C-alpha cells in the first residue's frame, strides 16, 4: 500500500509533535512493504527514516493558524492524489475539504475541546475539526475512555473509532535514589488540577513540590500561586525531566481529564511511584499500579502523599507494578494498531 501521512506538527515540542516522531520511527522499524509519503511544512525536521519513506516538504506560513489550516486542507490532499496514495492519514484533527479519491484516517487524540470548559476552539476552527472527524473513514484515538467521549459528545459511531495506545519510554534497569520532593507535571493548566496539589502539600512536612510546565496565566492556565515549599521549574529539557522523574518520591498527577496521561508511564519507566486521579483515561493506563484518588479530594491526596512518603514497602510495590505496566506499552504496538487501520481500509476498497 501507498500511505500518506500528514504531519504538520512533526518534531515540534508538543504532544502532537512527539506522537508524530515516535509513530514514524516505529513504522520504520516494521518489516512490511508499505510505502509512506510524509507531508510536512518545510520548517519541520523529519527524523532519519528508511527508503520506504518519502518526505514531501512544502511551504506554509508558520505561526498563522489560518494559513496552517489552509495548508491542511489543500497541500496534502493534492500531493496525495499526485502520489496515488491508498490511504491518507492526518496525524492531527484535520482533513481535506472535499472527498479525496482514497480513504481518510484522522487522529483525534482526545475530546478535551468538547468535554472540559474553556478549551473549545474559536469558530470556524471548531467547526472544521468537527467536520474533519465526522467525514473521516476511520478515527484513531488514544484510549477507550477517549473513544467513549468522542462517541458521546460528537455523535461518532463507535464502529468508526479505533484505539492505538501510546508507547511508554524505555524502562530504567533499576530505581534511582529518591529525594524528598513530589513532582507535578503540567504547570498551571487548569485541567491538570495543580490547585488541589498545592493545598495537599501544605500538610506534608519535609517534602518539596516541584512543578514542571507553563505557569503564566492564560485562558486555560491559572495564575501562578507562590507558596513555601514549592519550586517552579517551568519548561525543562527532556534529559532534565527524566532526572526529575527518577529522583522524585512520587509523581502527583490528579488531572481532571486526560486522553491518555503519558506522565503516568513516564514516571513508571523511571521506577517512581505514581499518585494520580481516578478520572478519564488514567485508571485505564495505570492498570492498578498507582494510588488513585478523586481529583477534588484534597484530604485523600494528602493522605496518599503521606503514605508513599512514609511506607518504603508501598513505594517498592508501586515501583515494581509500574515497571510491569509500562513494559506493556510500546510504540511498536502503536504502529501495529495503526497499520491494522490502514490495512482495514485498504482491503475494503
CATH fold match for the domains 2-167+330-348 and 181-326: yes
| Calpha distance 324→286 (Å, rounded) | 10
Domain 2-167+330-348, CATH: 3.40.50.2000
- Whether the CB-CB separation of 289 and 275 falls below 8 Å is answered with no
CA distance 115 to 172: 35
- Tell me the C-alpha distance between 286 and 322, whole Å: 8
Q: Which residues 6+ apart lie within 8 Å of 13 measured at CB?
A: none
Of the pLDDT bands very low, low, confident and very high (cuts 50, 70, 90), residue 336 is: very high
Is residue 349 predicted with pLDDT exceeding 70? no
Helix axes 298-310, 194-201, angle to 10 degrees: 60
pTM, full prediction? 0.93
Asked if the model's pLDDT at residue 348 lies above 90, the reply is no
Boundaries of every domain in the chain: 2-167+330-348, 181-326
What is the per-residue pLDDT across 22-46, written as a single tens digit (0 to 9) for each? 999 999 999 999 999 999 999 898 9
pLDDT at 148: 97
181-326 in CATH: which number? 3.40.50.2000
Amino acid at each position: 500500500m501507498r500511505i500518506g501521512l500528514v504531519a504538520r506538527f512533526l518534531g515540534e515540542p508538543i504532544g502532537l509533535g512527539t506522537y508524530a516522531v515516535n509513530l514514524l520511527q516505529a513504522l520504520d522499524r516494521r518489516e512490511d512493504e508499505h510505502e509512506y509519503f510524509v507531508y510536512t511544512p518545510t520548517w519541520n525536521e523529519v527524523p532519519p527514516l528508511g527508503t520506504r519513506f518519502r518526505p514531501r516538504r512544502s511551504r506554509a506560513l508558520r505561526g498563522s493558524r489560518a494559513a496552517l489550516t489552509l495548508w491542511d486542507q489543500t497541500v496534502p490532499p493534492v500531493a496525495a492524489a499526485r502520489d496515488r496514495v491508498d490511504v491518507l492519514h492526518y496525524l492531527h484533527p484535520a482533513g481535506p475539504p472535499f472527498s479525496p479519491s482514497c480513504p481518510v484516517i484522522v487522529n483525534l487524540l482526545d475530546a478535551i475541546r468538547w468535554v472540559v470548559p474553556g478549551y473549545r476552539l474559536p469558530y470556524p476552527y471548531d467547526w472544521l475539526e468537527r467536520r474533519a472527524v465526522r467525514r473521516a473513514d476511520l478515527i484513531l484515538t488514544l484510549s477507550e475512555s477517549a473513544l467513549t467521549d468522542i462517541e458521546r459528545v460528537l455523535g461518532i459511531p463507535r464502529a468508526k473509532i479505533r484505539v492505538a495506545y501510546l508507547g511508554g519510554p524505555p524502562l530504567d534497569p533499576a530505581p534511582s535514589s529518591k529525594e524528598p520532593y513530589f513532582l507535578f507535571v503540567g504547570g498551571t493548566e487548569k485541567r491538570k488540577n495543580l490547585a488541589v496539589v498545592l493545598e495537599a502539600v501544605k500538610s506534608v512536612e519535609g517534602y518539596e513540590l516541584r512543578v514542571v510546565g507553563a505557569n503564566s496565566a492564560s485562558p486555560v492556565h491559572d495564575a501562578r500561586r507562590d507558596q513555601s515549599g514549592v519550586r517552579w521549574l517551568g519548561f525543562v529539557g527532556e534529559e532534565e525531566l527524566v532526572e526529575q522523574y527518577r529522583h522524585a518520591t512520587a509523581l502527583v498527577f490528579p488531572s481532571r481529564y486526560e486522553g491518555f496521561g503519558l506522565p503516568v508511564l513516564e514516571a513508571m519507566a523511571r521506577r517512581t511511584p505514581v499518585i494520580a486521579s481516578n478520572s478519564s483515561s488514567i485508571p485505564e493506563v495505570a492498570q492498578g499500579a498507582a494510588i488513585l484518588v478523586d481529583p477534588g479530594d484534597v484530604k485523600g491526596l494528602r493522605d496518599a502523599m503521606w503514605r508513599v512518603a512514609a511506607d518504603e514497602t508501598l513505594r517498592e510495590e508501586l515501583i515494581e507494578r509500574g515497571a510491569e505496566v509500562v513494559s506493556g506499552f510500546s510504540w511498536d504496538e502503536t504502529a501495529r494498531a495503526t497499520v491494522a487501520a490502514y490495512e482495514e481500509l485498504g482491503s475494503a476498497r
